[in-house]
């Protein structure tokens, strides 16, 4: 059995932060693999547009409006899925805040915003999802979208790195805590990826022009940025039984090698 062969057939999958970028790609991949998918986002327009796209292609999908910076809304996103479908089998935490800040210029407000979206939201979404799985004595899978920058990262990503490094620890802690419940929890440290959010970030914070992707690509070993659809296929594999017993793994999905020196 391979990708696009029903790896997630009849699974109920929630993709938090699923209305664009890697989240939207993960929702598309899950539907292709046979899942029923719910996506969350703050803005209804892209979320509802994605659900319409998935439904038009013959998939089953729903949109849940949620701001993942709010722990109660993070928990409510899971509750909405359980109310609609009776259970949750798989969770993808893909929402992310990447606004810039160094150790010296980050304000407490910016720091708190990063913790809220990049760590607190995933924590409480996982709490709610795992609670449902444990209550039903059913197995489940969770994938957290993290970042290769969590290994140290750029100086201008200080609060982002702090929060995402926390998510790595949470991923491993929760995986260890619930391995006997047959709940597998893994993470992906993704590298530089061509998403709508990254485009906005490059333009807002780095003065990038329309050709920034091409300029970036020539500086990368594989000659291209990461693609959301490639990451999404890996997410679908980790959510599925095809990934076997793997849990507590945080995989570097990147073209740079940690510890490698030129």
Active site residues: 160
Taking the C-alpha atoms of residue 12 and residue 35, their distance in angstroms, rounded to an integer, is 6
From residue 202, give the alpha-carbon distance in Å to each of 224, 226, 241, 245.
16, 15, 37, 38
CA-based nearest residue to 168, from 185, 191, 192, 193: 185
CA nearest to 125, candidates 110, 108, 139, 145: 145
Distances (CA, A) of 50 to 37, 43, 177, 215, 250: 11, 12, 34, 30, 28
Among 74, 78, 117, which Cα is nearest to 95's? 117
Q: What tokens were used for 158?
A: 């200080």
């Amino acid at each position: 059995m391979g990708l696009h062969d029903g790896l997630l057939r009849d699974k109920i999958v929630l993709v938090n932060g699923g209305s664009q970028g890697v989240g939207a790609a993960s929702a598309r991949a899950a539907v292709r693999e046979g899942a029923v998918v719910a996506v969350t986002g703050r803005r209804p327009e892209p979320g509802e547009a994605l659900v319409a796209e998935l439904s038009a292609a013959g998939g089953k999908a729903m949109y849940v409006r949620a701001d993942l910076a709010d722990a109660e809304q993070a928990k409510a996103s899971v509750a909405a899925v359980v109310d609609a479908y009776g259970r949750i089998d798989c969770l993808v935490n893909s929402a992310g805040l990447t606004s810039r800040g160094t150790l010296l210029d980050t304000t407490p407000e910016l720091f708190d915003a990063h913790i809220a979206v990049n760590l607190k939201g995933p924590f409480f979404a996982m709490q709610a999802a795992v609670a449902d799985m444990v209550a039903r004595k059913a197995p489940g899978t969770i994938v957290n979208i993290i970042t290769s920058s969590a290994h140290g990262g750029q100086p201008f990503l200080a609060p982002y790195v702090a929060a995402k490094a926390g998510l790595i620890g949470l991923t491993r802690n929760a995986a260890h805590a619930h391995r006997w419940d047959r709940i597998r929890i893994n993470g992906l440290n993704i590298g530089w990826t061509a998403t709508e959010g990254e485009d906005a970030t490059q333009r807002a914070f780095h003065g990038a022009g329309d050709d920034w992707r091409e300029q970036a690509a020539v500086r990368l070993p594989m000659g291209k940025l990461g693609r959301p659809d490639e990451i999404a296929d890996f997410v679908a594999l980790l959510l599925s039984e095809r990934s076997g017993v793997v849990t507590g793994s945080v995989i570097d999905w990147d073209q740079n090698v940690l510890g490698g020196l030129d």
